[in-house]
Amino acid sequence: MSSVGSETVTPPPLPGPRRKRDKTHFLYLAVIAAVLLGILVGLVAPDVGKAMKPLGAGFVDLIRMMITPVIFCTLVLGIGSVRSAAQVGRVGSIALVYFIGMSTVALAIGLLVGNVLHPGEGLRLSDEVAEQGQQQAEGGEETTVDFVLNIIPDTLFSALTTETVLQTLLVALLVGFALQAMGKSGEPILRGIGHLQKLVFRVLAMIMWVAPVGAFGAIAAVVGATGVDALRSMAVIMVGFYATCIAFVFGVLGLLLKIFTGLNIFKVLRYLAREFLLIVSTSSSESALPRLIAKMEHLGVSRSTVGVVVPTGYSFNLDGTAIYLTMASLFIASAMGDPLQLPEQISLLIFMMIASKGAAGVTGAGLATLAGGLNSHRPDLVDGVGLIVGIDRFMSEARALTNFAGNSVATLLVGTWTRTIDRDQVNRVLAGQDPFDETTMVDDDHEPVREPAKEPANA
């Protein structure tokens, strides 16, 4: 420090380490441009747009390929590194109670809005539309026993190659608890799985560079196939559904987040902006599942909590799907001239909520669940599912976005309730002081602070 006259002059601080430039910023600008180009192609040249469908499907398949290893590695590492099995069980039980509660709230909101709007009145059902509804109902039914048995994989290792998230979840839980019971002898295996996780996320980061191609193909195909005219007659149900989802996310989820964590939902959603863009371009929340796991860990929630809440939430916390099934059922019944009475509404929708478990993130799964539920409870309404087919792809985006937002908030809430969240890290990340590493998607620096075993005084 030196002085000139009476003024004190402080030398400039030494330059710190230079932060790497985030090249992925341009990647997501390219995704936005690809979406706009896809819309243009779909409108101007519908046949060309429909021909682009394999590009979108191929990208979603690439992402889906990574979901099983991401869930397996994250959950095994989370459980295996926690010394108390009771802690994992506590997280899981709190999460399930919350999921059931929020699904009930979502159903109630959908019922309220649907009964106020009375969507579907005045529409006519043609033979072609009725045939489409019957096609959707085929194979849409699944009993509770089938659902439970489907959770059990054929072999221990086949669960690592399946598309059924619940099978992967079951095997990861068993392996995680087994490593936990092995104590120190299981630590080399945990380290190996840790290295495997880094490899998996690095591959995922490479796949993300083809996101603009996938976004272009997906949007061009759906706009080319659907067009604009087909949406006009369905505007009421679409606008009502989107408005309901927005009110649920910012009204219900935002209020819960503020009350229990003090966090602003706008800041959380801004942190997850790239994931929302990915969901919009692919119409599948499944495409953002691996990134949600990585980002929630980076945000400050412990690996064990993230590993339990996020994969389980993708099967059991389907807020957007619950709202969709409610409003679509009321829409179809009204359009068919046979509105559902309140007892019928409650019975049918509780059945659908149970039947939809495990279908989150899969494009078109909501439509199949709707058709299967109607076929089981009100077969006379199945033909009306054809009325939804034309706009289901657009409603699927709102379902996926709402499901994703619900699972993001659920992770923060459960982390707060179980004291497995680093609030200082949360504040740093949301303030932009600790940006997410898009290259590796894994940061071990913060993990020791977040493990529940490190916070016995706060339990």
pLDDT at 265: 93
Token pair 């679409």 in the structure block, residue: 238
Query: pTM of this prediction?
Result: 0.68
Do the domain assignments include residue 134? yes
Report the CATH number that the domain containing residue 81 is assigned in CATH: 1.10.3860.10
DSSP code per residue over 318-363 = -HHHHHHHHHHHHHHHHHTT-PPPHHHHHHHHHHHHHHTTT-TT-T
pLDDT at 455: 43
Do the domain assignments include residue 29? no
Phi/psi for 2 (5° steps) reads -130, 165
What is the length of the chain? 459
Number of domains in the chain: 1
CA distance 187 to 136: 49
Contact criterion met (CB below 8 Å) for 358 and 166: yes
Do the domain assignments include residue 50? no
Do the domain assignments include residue 358? yes
Do the domain assignments include residue 177? yes
* Residue 79, amino acid: I
Contact criterion met (CB below 8 Å) for 405 and 269: yes
What sign does the CA torsion over 303, 304, 308, 309 have? negative
CA distance 65 to 223: 26
- Per the structure, the complete domain to which residue 434 belongs is given by 60-458
Per-residue pLDDT of the chain (459 residues; tens, 9 = 90+): 444 444 445 555 444 444 455 566 677 678 778 878 887 888 788 888 888 888 877 877 787 777 778 778 877 877 776 655 566 678 878 888 898 888 888 888 888 887 777 665 555 544 444 444 445 545 555 556 666 777 788 887 877 777 666 787 788 888 888 887 887 888 888 888 888 878 887 887 788 787 788 878 877 876 776 666 545 555 667 788 888 899 999 999 999 999 999 999 999 999 998 888 888 777 667 778 888 888 998 999 988 788 888 887 877 788 888 888 888 888 877 777 777 777 777 777 777 666 555 444 444 556 666 776 676 677 777 776 766 765 666 677 788 889 899 999 999 999 999 888 999 999 999 988 888 877 666 655 544 444 444 444 443
Do the domain assignments include residue 155? yes
Percent of the chain with pLDDT over 70: 69
Determine the 3-state secondary structure of 433 from DSSP.
coil
* Residue 331, amino acid: F
* Residue 223, amino acid: V
CA distance 459 to 452: 9
pLDDT at 416: 92
pLDDT at 133: 47
Do the domain assignments include residue 22? no
DSSP summary character for residue 455: -
Looking at the DSSP assignment, which residues form a beta bridge with residue 8?
A: 3
pLDDT at 449: 40
Do the domain assignments include residue 13? no
Specify burial of residue 284 (Cβ count, 10 A radius: 0-12, 13-18, 19+): buried
DSSP summary character for residue 421: B
In tens, the pLDDT along 204-233 reads 778 878 778 887 887 787 677 666 654 555
